Amino acid sequence: MQKHRIKSLCDNTLTTTGIEPLFAVAYKRRFLTEGTKWKYKFVVDGTAQSLIQQYDVNPDNIESAIDLSSKYEQRIKFQADIQDFVDMSISSTINLESWGSESNNSGKVGEFASVLAKYAPRLRGFTAYPDGSRGGQPLTSVPYSEAIKHKDTVYDEIVDICDLTGGGTCGS
């Protein structure tokens, strides 16, 4: 089944705020309150929700940054193509699958480097973010059905400092 890309729909324009695709149709968002209390809630992306409600689009058919994580050349080329027509710098973050996955492992580093080098002369700002590469990352993709079930509820998160840092005396 074909994934939907967000595009202008005449008078009903649905776009993201920049050249980035949606991060995910639904995600868990972590945040800090009172300087010490970690909480999280489930979020459905507003643009995705508009597509789902207004156009009866199946949430599983909306293509997001997470879906494109194994298609990194498509994302890098798109940024380079847009940059050709923009005077100022465009900085883009591409999401990658977690380290050790089928598309992000030691055997794929050379391939990724070659793709990035191919487009680098046309890029002015670029970041790659592998899923899980930062302890306590603020956004984590979740299934749409899970986000809808828990929408508008804020949860306390019990945080183990070793999960966040992975260093120091953790694991000893």
Domain ranges of the chain: 1-66+134-165, 67-130
* pLDDT for the residue 110: 97
Q: What pLDDT shows up at residue 152?
A: 87
At 8, the pLDDT band (50, 70, 90 cuts) reads: very low
Q: In this structure, is the dihedral angle defined by the CA atoms of residues 162, 166, 171 and 172, taken in order, positive or negative?
A: negative
Cβ neighbours around 128 below 10 Å, total: 17
Query: Closest Cα partner for 159 from 33, 4, 63?
Result: 33
Work out the pLDDT band at 92, boundaries 50, 70, 90: confident
Tell me, what's the pLDDT at 11?
A: 41
Mean pLDDT computed over every residue of the chain: 85
Please determine, for residue 156, whether its predicted confidence score (pLDDT) is greater than 80: yes
Residue 136 is predicted with a pLDDT of: 80
pTM here?
A: 0.77
